[in-house]
């Protein structure tokens, strides 16, 4: 990585500037947004921690102001989801008439010293705008008949004062941003400089609601105008808006599943290399697919081999991969529009299930089949969980691992020692989507066409569980698919991946594993 060239001292178009007076850096992280003409303290270029940045001469500063081609675009097309984001904003406006609504994208977060984590916009902001850039703020201003939307963004780096090459967030360091005019063409929303938004919000009158925990500067500007209760209600409505997906969202989730399936194929093809190294080879292999076809992985990939498969969220991925063990791979590609798949397959590392592994796998498969069959419009959300749990309880009783009858087991929840988790969740911009929806709308609600959810039963026999025969210990199996509710039933978006034990073995053999 190149050394940043933030000056300790620089002569610029703004005059002589030391580390305190260096050119402004477009509202970088922290409390740096302020009104026009005000100092933007944290927006100044950060001097290197080691203090070795060179000075900039007057001649170089002047030279850097000119000789650059005009790259402004006037022919940009609207983003694919622009009509959907407009409809979503209209629904939000109708729900909260007469109130100012503020939805921030969020800011860069420090990973170490002067490096940041990759930025991912807040889901509410991305859902309502389609934009994914840091520091953005969507403001819906009441106008009597509804709301006027303004998208506050960082404009392009200023070439006159040198920030485009001197700032840590300047164009030559992190890449070109869209101009405000270009952003208006792309998102279909009037745009303004985000460095003015804190001052404008602090002077706002009337009721205000804000999505919290994304931008401390925005929240500080609104501190005397908002209440936790009202903001929680706002957050809940935004979450419930996403319960039913539109055609754009379903297409994104479909592609995410298709790319994920290709990632699973990639993993099967390199299992020999994983055996020679560790679970990390599997994690890295899937990550490559996610980055090539999408934005990233939608969550930390679970690449759990052997007894690690009994840990529900095993993301250390540092264990051995051995023939004779099962590999539980739970991973999803996140698309470039931030929708994620969430798929699990449990695979025999050597290409063939043992008799006991197959018995346990078949039980989980049958439970998943029962769960998927229960997904249909008008069904209760909990129906698919209860259908899957019944099958697993029946098998546990039949194997003598828990005393029946089955109704007693289900009533007391005794199967949960080995099933542990719920059978699914909503899916979308978050892997566990719509998390702040009301219980009556979600867990106690009714399925509708357009809802997307996972069906993912599992059985997990811990390595130290003395209540089961020794041969069961250390075996974990989960099968998970992404399901969309249709008008007459449901559709498995990840159904291109094999699910039966026999089909899994055949698939792996065709990919060179047996």
Q: Please give the backbone phi and psi of residue 336, each rounded to the nearest 5 degrees, phi first.
A: -70, -10
Q: Which residue has the higher pLDDT, 109 or 28?
A: 109
CA-nearest of 159, 163, 155, 200 to 181 is: 155
Q: What is the pLDDT of residue 76?
A: 97
**How far is Cα 349 from Cα 359, in angstroms, rounded to an integer?**
17
CA-nearest of 392, 383, 401 to 364 is: 392
Digit-coded pLDDT (tens) for 461-478: 999 999 999 999 999 999
CA-nearest of 437, 450, 482, 457 to 334 is: 482
Q: What is the pTM of this model?
A: 0.91
pLDDT > 70 in the chain, percent? 89
Tokens 């063409």 -> residue: 185
Enumerate residues 6+ apart whose C-beta is below 8 A from 197: 33, 137, 139, 152, 218, 221
**How far is Cα 271 from Cα 276, in angstroms, rounded to an integer?**
9
Average pLDDT over residues 377-386: 98
Give CA 172 to chain center in angstroms: 28
Q: Listing from the earlier edge strand, what are the strands of the sheet with 147-153?
A: 191-193, 147-153, 137-142, 100-104, 208-210
Which DSSP state fits 426?
Answer: B
pLDDT higher than 70, residue 38: no
Q: What is the mean pLDDT of the chain?
A: 91
- Cis? peptide before 405, omega within 30° of 0: yes
Digit-coded pLDDT (tens) for 70-118: 999 999 999 999 999 999 999 999 999 999 999 999 999 999 998 999 9
Q: What is the pLDDT of residue 264?
A: 98
**How far is Cα 326 from Cα 347, in angstroms, rounded to an integer?**
5
Instruction: Take residue 192 and report the two structure tokens written for it.
Output: 């303004």
Which DSSP state fits 308?
Answer: G
Residue 193, classified by CB atoms within 10 Å of its CB into exposed (0-12), middle (13-18) or buried (19+), is: middle
Q: What is the pLDDT of residue 159?
A: 87
- For residue 52, name the pLDDT band (cuts at 50, 70, 90): low
Q: What is the pLDDT of residue 2?
A: 55
Which DSSP state fits 333?
Answer: E
What domains sit in the chain, N to C, each tagged with a CATH number? 82-161+171-241 (3.40.350.10), 247-510 (3.90.230.10)
pLDDT higher than 80, residue 384: yes
Which ranges in 195-323 belong to alpha helices (H)? Answer: 197-202, 216-221, 228-241, 247-269, 271-276, 279-293
pLDDT > 90 in the chain, percent? 86
Digit-coded pLDDT (tens) for 400-420: 999 999 999 999 999 999 999
| Residue 248 backbone zone (phi > 0: left; psi -120 to 50: alpha; other: beta) | alpha
Q: Which residue has the higher pLDDT, 481 or 25?
A: 481
Q: What is the pLDDT of residue 53?
A: 63
Digit-coded pLDDT (tens) for 268-323: 999 999 999 999 999 999 999 999 999 999 999 999 999 999 999 999 999 999 99
Q: Please give the backbone phi and psi of residue 47, each rounded to the nearest 5 degrees, phi first.
A: -65, 150
Enumerate residues 6+ apart whose C-beta is below 8 A from 492: 372, 481, 482, 483
Digit-coded pLDDT (tens) for 329-374: 999 999 999 999 999 999 999 999 999 999 999 999 999 999 999 9
């Amino acid at each position: 990585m190149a050394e940043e060239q933030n000056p300790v001292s620089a002569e610029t178009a703004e005059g002589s500037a030391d580390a305190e007076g260096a050119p402004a850096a477009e509202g970088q992280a922290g409390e740096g947004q302020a009104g026009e003409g005000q100092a933007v303290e944290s927006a100044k270029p950060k001097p290197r921690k080691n203090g070795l940045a060179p000075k900039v001469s007057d001649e170089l500063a002047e030279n850097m102001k000119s000789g650059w081609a005009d790259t402004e675009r006037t022919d940009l097309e609207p983003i694919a989801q622009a009509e959907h984001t407009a409809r979503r904003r209209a629904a939000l406006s109708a729900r909260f008439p007469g109130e100012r609504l503020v939805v921030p994208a969020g800011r860069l977060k420090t990973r170490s010293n002067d490096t940041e984590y990759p930025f991912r916009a807040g889901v509410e902001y991305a859902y309502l705008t389609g934009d994914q850039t840091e520091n953005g703020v969507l403001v819906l201003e009441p106008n009597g008949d509804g709301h006027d939307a303004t998208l506050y963004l960082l404009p392009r780096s200023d070439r006159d004062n040198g920030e485009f090459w001197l700032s840590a967030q300047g164009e030559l360091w992190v890449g070109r941003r869209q101009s405000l005019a270009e952003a208006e063409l792309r998102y279909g929303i009037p745009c303004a400089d985000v460095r003015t938004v804190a001052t404008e919000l602090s002077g706002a009158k009337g009721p205000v609601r804000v999505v919290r925990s994304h931008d401390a500067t925005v929240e500080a500007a609104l501190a005397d105008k908002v209440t936790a209760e009202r903001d929680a209600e706002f957050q809940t409505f935004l979450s419930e808006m996403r319960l039913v997906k539109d055609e754009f969202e379903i297409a994104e989730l479909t592609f995410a599943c298709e790319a994920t399936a290709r990632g699973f194929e990639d993993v099967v093809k390199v299992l020999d290399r994983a055996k020679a190294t560790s679970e990390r080879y599997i994690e890295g292999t899937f990550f490559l697919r996610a980055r090539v076809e999408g934005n990233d992985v939608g969550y930390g990939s679970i690449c759990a081999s052997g007894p690690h498969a009994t840990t529900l969220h095993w993301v250390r991925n540092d264990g051995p991969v051995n023939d004779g063990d099962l590999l539980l791979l739970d991973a999803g590609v996140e698309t470039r529009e931030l929708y994620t798949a969430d798929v699990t397959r449990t695979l025999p590392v050597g290409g063939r299930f043992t008799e006991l592994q197959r018995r346990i796998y078949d039980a989980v498969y049958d439970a998943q089949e029962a769960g998927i069959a229960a997904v249909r419009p008008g069904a209760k959300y909990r129906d698919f969980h209860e259908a899957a749990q019944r099958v697993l309880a029946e098998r546990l009783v039949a194997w003598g691992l828990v005393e029946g009858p089955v109704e007693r087991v289900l009533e007391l929840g005794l199967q949960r020692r080995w099933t542990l988790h719920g059978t699914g969740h909503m899916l979308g911009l978050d892997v566990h989507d719509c998390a702040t929806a009301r219980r009556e709308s979600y867990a106690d609600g009714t399925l509708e066409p357009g809802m997307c959810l996972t069906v993912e039963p599992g059985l997990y026999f811990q390595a130290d569980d003395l209540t089961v025969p020794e041969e069961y210990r250390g075996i974990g199996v989960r099968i998970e698919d992404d399901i969309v509710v249709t008008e007459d039933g449901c559709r498995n978006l990840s159904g291109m991946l094999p699910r039966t034990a026999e089909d899994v073995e055949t698939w792996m053999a065709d990919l060179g594993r047996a």
